[in-house]
């Protein structure tokens, strides 16, 4: 009891009321020695190639390939951020369930990248479609653009597969 006859109430310590960060991946450079770290590096590499290849194809179908560009650029930067958080060790400083965040991130990006892969494959399949430009029929994609789009489709598939593998590994960590 305090001097006025009232009991003093203690506020809970905020450091005690939050759970410790839950992460089973190593922080720092050791993450690069895990399968998950290797897949994130491959996601960044292949995703960057998708971004570069689609941009270099002059984007003949902006409705389809605009989404592919959005997904590849966004996933590229978020994967860099994700890897940077683990490399810097910030994951041990932020109270969060990193295993769930890893799973949620890779699930979301896997779904979006799978859609982007399908759209890029659809854009590539329209190679023989002829369009009327100034009274002459020309193919929608030149041979050079077609080859670039084929490479972009292959790398989009490889990136999607890497995100799928990361998703499987994240699911194992989240739900052991």
Q: Render pLDDT for 17-27 as a digit per residue (tens, 0 to 9).
A: 555 557 777 78
Question: How many other CB atoms are found less than 10 A from the CB of residue 169?
Answer: 18
With respect to residue 164, please indicate whether it lies within any of the assigned structural domains. Answer: yes
Q: Within 13 A of 105's CA, how many CA atoms are on the CB side?
A: 21
**Residue 55, pLDDT above cutoff 70:** yes
With respect to residue 44, please indicate whether it lies within any of the assigned structural domains. Answer: yes
Query: In which domain, by residue range, is 79 found?
Result: 29-128+141-174
Residue 2 CA to residue 98 CA, distance in Å, equals 43
**Residue 58, pLDDT above cutoff 90:** no
With respect to residue 121, please indicate whether it lies within any of the assigned structural domains. Answer: yes
**Residue 121, pLDDT above cutoff 70:** yes
The pTM of the full predicted model, rounded to 2 decimals, is 0.80
With respect to residue 4, please indicate whether it lies within any of the assigned structural domains. Answer: no
Residue 175 CA to residue 60 CA, distance in Å, equals 43
DSSP state of 130: E
Domains identified in the chain, total number: 1
With respect to residue 13, please indicate whether it lies within any of the assigned structural domains. Answer: no
7's tokens: 């009991």
With respect to residue 55, please indicate whether it lies within any of the assigned structural domains. Answer: yes
With respect to residue 82, please indicate whether it lies within any of the assigned structural domains. Answer: yes
With respect to residue 153, please indicate whether it lies within any of the assigned structural domains. Answer: yes
Question: How many other CB atoms are found less than 10 A from the CB of residue 35?
Answer: 11
């Amino acid at each position: 009891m305090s001097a006025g006859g009232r009991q003093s109430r203690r506020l809970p310590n905020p450091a005690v009321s939050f759970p410790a960060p839950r992460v089973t991946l190593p922080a720092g450079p050791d993450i690069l020695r895990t399968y998950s770290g290797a897949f994130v590096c491959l996601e960044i590499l292949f995703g960057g190639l998708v971004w570069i290849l689609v941009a270099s194809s002059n984007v003949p179908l902006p409705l389809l390939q605009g989404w592919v560009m959005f997904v590849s650029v966004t996933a590229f930067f978020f994967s860099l951020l994700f890897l940077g958080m683990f490399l810097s060790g910030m994951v041990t400083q932020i109270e969060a369930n990193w295993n769930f965040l890893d799973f949620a991130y890779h699930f979301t990006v896997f779904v979006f990248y799978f859609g982007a892969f399908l759209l890029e494959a659809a854009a590539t399949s329209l190679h023989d479609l002829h369009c009327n430009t100034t009274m002459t029929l020309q193919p929608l994609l030149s041979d050079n653009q077609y080859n670039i789009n084929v490479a972009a489709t292959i790398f989009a598939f490889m990136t999607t597969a890497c995100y799928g593998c990361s998703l499987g590994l994240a699911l194992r960590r989240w739900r052991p």
